[in-house]
């Protein structure tokens, strides 16, 4: 019988601990056991002695506990949904033994920037199909990467009712643990502030709603300042709202104002200026800041990644809690309207005034300017349900198919009756991606979403982010150490987002555990063939439930809704 998700709130009885105390406490527990040796470790447990009713033993692996730089050869004993003991368990009995000889064992990975909720929100009643599709309800594209926890509600989009979304995840029996951020943009629309600056009444309404959602277990607040209605939000507005979440322990995740190729601050390098805005919001609000998908799209200019990093590090030296996340690809993905300057768009699409003949001409002129920086062949349509024949094609190919110019093809897409499509943008340089990667304040995150197998043409990061970073950039290129890469996926994001009892292999923590064959570890998804699962995750436990066994998803789902307190 498949074990379904339970209504658990991750309440470990230490809600009042700070992030630093949580991380230090987890480190102390794990490292004390490691230092004590096999006999003491075998007796470090939640109760009983060796051989008393363990459900699972992971035997003979090299454990990277999520904190230490040094792996340790040891066994892990699991009872129910928790790690019971770590050490030499040669004399212990269990219902199931996983042979991890020659393999590494890590905490299950935590992806702090996903849009898994949008797969449900934007499909409407069709979301009920998830119950019939193992790859959808199981969140297989993440499980095969070793990801056991996802954070949703990012970039200001998603469910404004935390309980509604977490209830859907519980009802479906979602394969991953889920924590949720309050989406600023969607909430702004909900209170009637879709355009322009806030009134005092709007601000009060937003603060009240943020307090309500934090009370329901939201992990914090997210915004997308490059998208409508986030483009209308001032620094002052975001500081006030981030402070509301921060006072209740929440994180503030910011998709920066200038993640597009159009600098929003005249005379400056956009990414540098808008990182500065993110830091200023953190300073004014007191909230911990998470800079979403840190990158510098082309044109990069003369200042580059070094100045971006120095700006963040200077803020951290001043005592501000500033971290970021990054996906290990040189391309991004979002709606293709992001290529237009803000004056043309609303959250619903192109403004009505630009749907006239003269307006369409102005859009064509604007996109021609964009194409001089990012040529049309570097934008690939990934999701276009009204014209699926264009999915996987770039804008130049689509223009040729239709016998029009790329600018005309683009204008027709954004001004048509159908919703404008999603695109993948080959807009970055790998040298910059590498330069931003090897820092302990830069976490690993996909910026992807739950993808039912073989539906649409998603960005390959939805299938490959975590194995790609571990194998290509840590093991092969040695841009960072393997323990550091694992920390960026486990203990560091767990501490930042207050995901207690996860991200560290230690007695008493939840049994979210990946057993990995580093020889077979690889990402296989490409832009042409994105629906290829990663390999190398030999076994994966989610709250002690066997999600992957011998490299294959079992169909058993152990994910839980994480109500952060």
For 313-330, write each residue's pLDDT tens digit.
999 999 999 999 999 999
Q: Which of 271, 317, 321 is nearest to 297 (CA)?
A: 271
**Mean pLDDT for the stretch of residues 291-306:** 82
Q: Is the pLDDT confidence value at 107 over 70?
A: yes
**Mean pLDDT for the stretch of residues 408-436:** 91
For 461, the domain range is: 109-330+428-538
232 and 378 belong to one structural domain? no
Is residue 94 included in any domain, yes or no?
Answer: no
Q: How far is CA 38 from the centre of its chain?
A: 36
Could you give phi then psi for residue 52, rounded to 5 degrees? -95, 80
Q: Which of 149, 153, 147, 148 is nearest to 165 (CA)?
A: 153
453 and 417 belong to one structural domain? no
Q: Residues with Cβ < 8 Å from 388, sequence gap 6 or more? A: none
Instruction: Report the range of poorest mean pLDDT among 378-382, 495-499, 522-526.
Output: 378-382
Is residue 22 included in any domain, yes or no?
Answer: no
Is residue 97 included in any domain, yes or no?
Answer: no
Residue bearing the bigger pLDDT, 25 or 128: 128
Residue bearing the bigger pLDDT, 26 or 121: 121
Is residue 369 included in any domain, yes or no?
Answer: yes
pLDDT at 338: 85
β strands within 165-288, DSSP E: 177-183, 220-224, 251-255
417 and 481 belong to one structural domain? no
241 and 281 belong to one structural domain? yes
Three-state secondary-structure class, residue 184: helix
Is residue 30 included in any domain, yes or no?
Answer: no
Is residue 49 included in any domain, yes or no?
Answer: no
Q: Which of 110, 145, 218 is nearest to 494 (CA)?
A: 110
Residue 144 — very low, low, confident or very high, per pLDDT cuts 50/70/90?
very high
pLDDT at 301: 62
pLDDT at 300: 67
437 and 403 belong to one structural domain? no
CA torsion, points 20, 26, 27, 33, in degrees to nearest 10? Answer: 160
Of 403, 424, 445, which residue sits at a domain end? 424
pLDDT at 273: 84
- Which strands sit side by side in the sheet containing 422-425, from one edge to the other? 332-335, 422-425, 379-383
pTM of the model: 0.88
293 and 400 belong to one structural domain? no
409 and 453 belong to one structural domain? no
Residue bearing the bigger pLDDT, 563 or 382: 563
Q: Residues with Cβ < 8 Å from 132, sequence gap 6 or more? A: none
> pLDDT tens-digit profile of 43-63?
334 433 454 689 999 999 999
517 and 474 belong to one structural domain? yes
For residues 61 and 101, give the distance between their C-alpha atoms in angstroms, rounded to a whole number: 5
Is residue 20 included in any domain, yes or no?
Answer: no
Q: What is the CATH classification number for the domain harbouring 531? A: 3.20.20.140
Residue 13 — very low, low, confident or very high, per pLDDT cuts 50/70/90?
very low
CA torsion, points 343, 346, 350, 353, in degrees to nearest 10? Answer: -70
528 and 496 belong to one structural domain? yes
pLDDT at 302: 64
Q: Is the pLDDT confidence value at 1 over 50?
A: no
Of 356, 390, 424, which residue sits at a domain end? 424
Three-state secondary-structure class, residue 385: helix
Q: Is the pLDDT confidence value at 15 over 90?
A: no
pLDDT at 473: 98
502 and 388 belong to one structural domain? no
CA distances in angstroms from 446 to 254, 331, 537, listed in the order given: 15, 12, 17
Q: Is the pLDDT confidence value at 41 over 80?
A: no
Looking at beta carbons, which pairs linking 468-472 to residues 24 or more positions away fall under 8 Å? 468/328, 468/329, 468/523, 468/534, 469/328, 469/437, 469/444, 470/516, 470/518, 470/521, 471/518, 471/521, 471/522, 471/523, 471/536, 472/328, 472/523
Q: What is the DSSP letter of 123?
A: T
pLDDT at 539: 98
pLDDT at 385: 86
445 and 492 belong to one structural domain? yes
Is residue 113 included in any domain, yes or no?
Answer: yes
Of 424, 451, 476, which residue sits at a domain end? 424
**Number of domains making up the chain:** 2
Q: Is the pLDDT confidence value at 555 over 70?
A: yes
183 and 254 belong to one structural domain? yes
Percent of the chain topping pLDDT 90:
76
**Mean pLDDT for the stretch of residues 257-286:** 75
């Amino acid at each position: 019988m498949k074990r379904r998700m339970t209504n658990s709130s991750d309440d470990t009885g230490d809600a009042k601990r700070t992030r630093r105390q949580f991380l230090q406490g987890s480190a102390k527990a794990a490292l004390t056991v490691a230092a004590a040796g096999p006999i003491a470790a075998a007796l470090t447990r939640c109760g009983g002695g060796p051989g008393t009713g363990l459900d699972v033993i992971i035997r003979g692996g090299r454990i990277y506990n999520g904190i230490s730089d040094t792996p340790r050869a040891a066994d892990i004993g699991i009872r129910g949904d928790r790690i019971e003991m770590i050490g030499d368990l040669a004399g212990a009995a269990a219902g199931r033994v996983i042979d991890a000889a020659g393999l590494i064992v890590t905490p299950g990975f935590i992806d702090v920037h996903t849009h898994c909720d949008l797969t449900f929100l934007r499909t409407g009643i069709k979301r009920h199909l998830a119950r019939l599709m193992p790859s959808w309800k199981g969140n297989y594209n993440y499980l095969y990467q070793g990801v056991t926890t996802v954070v949703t509600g990012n970039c200001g989009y998603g469910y404004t009712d935390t309980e509604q979304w977490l209830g859907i995840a519980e009802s479906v029996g979602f394969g991953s643990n889920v924590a949720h951020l309050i989406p600023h943009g969607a909430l702004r629309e909900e209170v009637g502030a879709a355009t322009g600056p806030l009134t005092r009444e709007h601000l009060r309404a937003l603060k009240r709603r943020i307090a309500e959602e934090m009370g329901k277990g939201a992990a914090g607040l997210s915004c997308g300042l490059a998208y409508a209605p986030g483009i209308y939000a001032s620094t002052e507005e975001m500081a006030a709202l981030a402070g509301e979440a921060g006072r209740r322990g929440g994180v503030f995740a910011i998709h920066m104002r200038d993640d597009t190729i159009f600098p929003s601050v005249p005379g400056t390098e956009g990414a540098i200026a808008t990182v500065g805005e993110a830091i200023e919001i953190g300073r004014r609000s007191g909230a911990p800041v998470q800079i979403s998908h840190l990158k510098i799209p082309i044109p990069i200019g003369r200042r580059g990644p070094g100045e971006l990093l120095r700006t963040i590090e200077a803020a951290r030296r001043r005592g501000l809690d500033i971290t970021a996340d990054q996906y290990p690809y040189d391309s991004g993905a979002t709606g293709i309207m992001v290529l237009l300057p803000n004056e043309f768009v609303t959250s619903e699409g192109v403004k009505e005034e630009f749907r006239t003949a003269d307006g369409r001409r102005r859009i064509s002129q604007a996109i021609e300017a964009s194409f001089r920086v990012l040529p049309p062949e570097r934008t690939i349509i990934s999701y276009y349900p009204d014209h699926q024949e264009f999915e996987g094609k770039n804008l130049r190919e689509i223009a040729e198919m239709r016998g029009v110019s790329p600018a005309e093809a683009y204008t027709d897409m954004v001004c048509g009756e159908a919703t404008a499509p999603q695109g993948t943008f080959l807009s970055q340089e790998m040298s910059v991606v590498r330069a931003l990667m090897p820092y302990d304040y830069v976490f690993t995150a996909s910026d992807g979403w739950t993808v039912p197998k073989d539906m649409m043409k998603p960005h390959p990061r939805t299938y490959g982010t975590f194995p790609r970073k571990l194998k290509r950039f840590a093991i092969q290129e040695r841009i960072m150490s393997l323990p550091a890469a694992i920390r960026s996926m486990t203990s560091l994001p767990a501490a930042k987002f207050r995901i207690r009892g996860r991200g560290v292999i230690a007695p008493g923590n939840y049994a979210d555990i990946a057993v990995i064959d580093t020889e077979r570890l690889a990402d296989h998804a490409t832009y042409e063939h994105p629906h290829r699962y990663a390999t190398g995750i030999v076994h994966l436990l989610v709250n002690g439930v066997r999600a992957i066994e011998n490299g294959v998803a079992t169909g058993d789902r152990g994910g839980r809704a994480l109500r952060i307190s």
